[in-house]
Structure 1
């Protein structure tokens, strides 16, 4: 099964409501899709989410990197040579992690098809069901409390609360949500780099003093401030999750070596795909550091790949893959199955896609 051709396109889907964090507000999903075609007629699909404020990747840069740098380096290669393909993918251009992720996902889709096996079984086969949280966008305390109640009514028992915009307001936000949903719902906080180290320690300690149960706080400080991240981790009791600070296996090793965070967040758009994410899982497993699998604003296409990774690896103990429930429509036929907070992996080969509607192909 050799790679002989590819197509690049884009999907545009309005969201049910604006997605708000301390970094940005988004109203539409606008992502790049790639279709890799083999000499056997098989097709593998991948997706890239342009998240310029985190990865630096834009819609145009992703498309250009795939067309001009990545695909020319792997055309003609045999899918069973997964290591060789990934070496070429990694070396053909630096950074551009989202573009690499799209191609990586499509190749792994074909790898599963080659052996007529669901991908998660080839990667480890640990489980075929996982439970995701759901994100509550940053807003006024009352609005966030209302949105949290709505999420619980829809069957979600784990909520990720976006904060990082105003110290006093952030405390009021988490207080309002906890009061609204009661003590049986798991709360996670995500500051998206919104605080400096002393602010983070001050806020988290106040939350601890108020006995508000929070499972962890995600990326409290700037992604570039490793010392600040460690300062927060060392000075609070609530576990700290590194997200924007970790793109690669080298970043994971550095965070673990310096004990700068308690947990690691793996996102395929940051790692450059499954191949690099597997390295992070191995490092984390070696040192007993649990991981979360997360996503950007992605459709079910690339989230399916993340689910297969989570299904494969026991070190991934936390899941934040609510991206596909945010758009108004789902153009993906096949892939994983969402039933409220439960995501199931069917027994189809590869990533299990049947078709993708409403894609505008460039070539």
Structure 2
């Protein structure tokens, strides 16, 4: 099974409501999709999310990286030779992790198809079903409380609350949500780098004193401020999760060895795909540091790849794969079954996709 052709297209999926964080506001998913065809007629897809404020990747840069740099390096290679394919993808261009992730995902799908086994079983096969949280966008406290109530009605037991725009208002946001959903629902906070270190410590200590019972706080300070991240980790009881600070296995080693965070967040768009994400899992296993797996604003296409990885590894204990749950429609036929918070992995080969609707390719 050799790589014969790689095509680049685009997929658009509207969101149920605007997605707001401390970094951006998005109304629909506008992602690049790669289609890989083999000489045996097998077809696989991968997806890249243009998250310029985090990865630096745009739709234009992703398309260019795939067409001009990555694809020429791997056309003609046999899917059995995964090590060579992944080495060439990594070395084809520096950074551009979202473009690399799209191709990586499609290659791993073909690897599963080659052996007619669902990908999660080939990667470790730890379990077949995983449970995700749902993200609540940053808005006025009353609106966030209403969104949280709606999520709980849909069966979610864990909510990830976007904060980081205003620490005083953030306190009101969490109070409103706790008053609305009670204390049987787990709350995770995601500041998206929005606080300064001392500000984060002061705010989180207040939340501890109020008994808000926060499960974890994701990336409270700037990604580059590892000293600030460590300061927060050292001075609050709430576990701190490193997200934007961790793109590579090397980043994970640095964070863990310096005790700058308690947990590591893996996202395929940051790692460049499954190949490097597996290395981060191995690093985390060595040090006994639990991982979360998350996603950008992605459709079911690439989130399915993250779900397979999550189901394969015991070290991934927290799931933040709510992308499909935020979408108004699902153009992906086949693959894992997303029932709001409950994700059940497919039994057929690879990622199990049958069809991608509304996928357009430029001539």
Residues 1:154 and 2:154 aligned together:
yes
Structure 2 CA distance, aligned partners of 1:8 and 1:324?
22
Give SS of 2:29's match.
Answer: strand
Contact 1:267 1:294 in 2 (8 A): yes
Aligned to 2:53: 53
CA distance in 1, matches of 2:23, 2:36: 33
Give the drift of 1:44.
Answer: 1.2
Following superposition of structure 1 onto structure 2, how do residues 274-353 of structure 1 map, counting pairs within 5 Å? 274-353=274-353
| Distance in 2 of aligned mates of 1:340 and 1:197 | 34
Structure 1 distance, partners of 2:270, 2:262, is 19
Aligned pairs (5 A) from 1:1-363: 1-363=1-363
Instruction: Output the CA distance in 1 between the equivalents of 2:115 and 2:226.
Output: 42
Structure 1 runs, 4 residues or longer, greater than 4 Å off: none
Secondary structure in 2 matching 1:360: strand
State the distance in 1 between where 2:350 and 2:340 align: 23
Name the SS for the 1:350 alignment partner. Answer: coil
CA distance in 2 between counterparts of 1:339 and 1:330 reads 12
Secondary structure, aligned partner of 1:37: strand
- TM value normalised by structure 1: 0.99
Q: Give the superposed CA RMSD.
A: 0.6
CA contact (8 A) 1:268 1:295 kept: yes
Contact 1:4/1:75 (8 A) holds in 2: yes
- State the Cα distance separating 1:346 from its structure 2 match: 1.6
| Alpha-carbon shift at residue 142 of structure 1 (Å) | 0.8
The SS at the match of 2:193 is coil
Deviations along 1:13-71, one digit per CA (max 9) or x if unpaired, are: 22111000010000011000011000000011100000000000000000000000000
What SS class does the counterpart of residue 22 from structure 1 fall into? coil
SS in structure 2 of the partner of residue 165 of structure 1: coil
Q: Residue 241 of structure 2 contacts residue 263 of structure 2 at CA under 8 Å; is this kept in 1?
A: yes
Please tell me whether the aligned partners of residues 7 and 362 of structure 1 are also in contact (alpha carbons under 8 angstroms). Answer: no
SS at match of 1:120: helix
8 Å contact kept, 1:133–1:321: yes
Residue 326 of structure 1 deviates from its aligned partner by: 1.4
SS state of the match for residue 44, structure 2?
Answer: strand
- Distance in 1 (alpha carbons) for counterparts of 2:272 and 2:67: 16
Which whole-Å deviations, capped at 9, do the CAs of 1:94-150 have from their partners, x for residues lacking one?
000000000000000000000000011110000010000000000111111111001
Q: Is the 8 A contact 1:129 1:345 kept in 2?
A: yes
> Could you tell me the TM-score, scaled by structure 2's length?
0.99
CA distance in 1, matches of 2:122, 2:327: 30
The separation in 1 between residues aligned to 2:133 and 2:105, in whole angstroms, is 23
Secondary structure at the counterpart of residue 17 of structure 2: strand
Q: Quote the offset at 1:340 in angstroms.
A: 2.2
